[in-house]
Amino acid sequence: MVDIDIDTTALGLIGYPLGHSISPLIHNYALDKLDLNYVYLPFEIEPDQLKEGIQGLRSLKIKGINVTIPYKNDVIPYLDDLDPLAEQIGAVNTINNHEGKLKGYNTDASGFKKMLKEDAGFSIKGKKALIIGAGGASRAVGEVLCQNKIQELHIINRTENKARQLAKKWRENYPAVEIGVKGIAENYYRSIMERMDLIVDTTPVGMAPETDVAPVLAADCFHSNLLVVDLVYNPPETTILRAAKKAGAQTLNGLTMLLYQAVDAFKLWTGKEPEVKDWYQLVLEKKGW
Ligand code: ATR
């Protein structure tokens, strides 16, 4: 832990709830290791207090902020500026406070892309994918898949209208991608499952502390030619990943995506680059994952 003094700069994480997050653990470890006079704190903001919360960060001169569930879209109206990629995606997971001006970035997209390549050896071009959820994380995932020439992309969401809005945007921006959209309807996803290569669950279903819940997709719908990714990393094996593994599918949780997006955020705030392998070791030691 850094020695906090009058020159210490604060960084932090906003979201609701925050109990699942390991961002304070990894960022404070790297700040200490690189001997940087910063501290990274969790700021849980109640859903009706987001505007005041952001104003508070500004007033308190918090230098850098990560944004997690459920605020990646909702935070946008309260920022002063957006990086072009965050604007295109329509979601922000990192904020930089430069002399009182809050600028939003998206480092989830590059984190997701890197994870698919490095940790699953998955190449996107010409493949077929299903995304579950239509929030901020889903926006970044869909953008990466479309940009990298996925052939067919389906999105299903509890609130169908939110999925429809995203599908409309992707159809306009990427006319070559065949896009399907629906609420969470079992007959729909079962009808496309056989030809899918990739499933990405962007919902918090199964995230700690509520780990013992049924996955969004029926446990018997998976097959062995799939890569199934759950962006949840705590616990490391959620019920959807367990079901997919049982069917012989390749599975991946969201830990490395979290680490890759955190490297980019850390660089943005401090100009220094932490080592992913150190973080990996730390998480193994502290969490046993
Ligand atoms: P994030 O910014 O991290 O993506 P978000 O914007 O709150 O978080 O999005 C969470 C997504 O998970 C949403 O698509 C949400 O569905 P709704 O649009 O219907 O709210 C989905 N989600 C959250 N809890 C869920 C649950 N219990 N079952 C199914 N989907 C859920």
What tens-digit pLDDT sequence spans the chain (289 residues)?
A: 678 999 999 999 999 999 889 999 999 999 999 999 999 999 999 999 999 999 999 999 999 999 999 999 999 999 999 999 999 999 999 999 999 999 999 999 999 999 999 999 999 999 999 999 999 999 999 999 999 999 999 999 999 999 999 999 999 999 999 999 999 999 999 999 999 999 999 999 999 999 999 999 999 999 999 999 999 999 999 999 999 999 999 999 999 999 999 999 999 999 999 999 999 999 999 999 9
From ligand 1's centre to the CA of 209, what distance in Å?
16
| Pocket mutation for ligand 1, best pick of 75, 138, 155, 158 (most atoms within 8 Å of C-beta) | 158
| Closest alpha carbon to 56 in 102, 94, 104, 107 | 102
What are the strands of the beta sheet with 178-183, ordered from one edge? Answer: 178-183, 152-157, 128-132, 198-201, 227-230, 250-253
61 is catalytic: no
pLDDT at 69: 94
**Atom 22 (ligand 1) nearest CA:** 203
Q: Strand locations in the chain, DSSP E? A: 9-15, 38-44, 64-67, 81-82, 94-98, 101-105, 128-132, 152-157, 178-183, 198-201, 227-230, 250-253
| Catalytic residue chosen out of the listed positions 33, 61, 63, 72 | 72
Residue with tokens 């009182």: 100
**Atom 23 (ligand 1) nearest CA:** 203
pLDDT at 20: 87
CATH topology identical between 9-106+258-287 and 109-253: yes
The torsion angles phi and psi of 4, rounded to 5 degrees, stand at -80, 130
User: Which ligand 1 atom lies nearest to the CA of residue 72?
Assistant: 2
Spans of all domains in the chain: 9-106+258-287, 109-253
pLDDT at 3: 87
pLDDT at 2: 73
From ligand 1's centre to the CA of 102, what distance in Å?
25
- The architecture that CATH gives domain 9-106+258-287 is 3-Layer(aba) Sandwich (3.40)
Q: Which CATH number fits domain 109-253: 3.40.50.720, 2.30.30.700, 3.40.190.10, 3.30.70.1290?
A: 3.40.50.720
User: Which ligand 1 atom lies nearest to the CA of residue 203?
Assistant: 12
From ligand 1's centre to the CA of 30, what distance in Å?
30
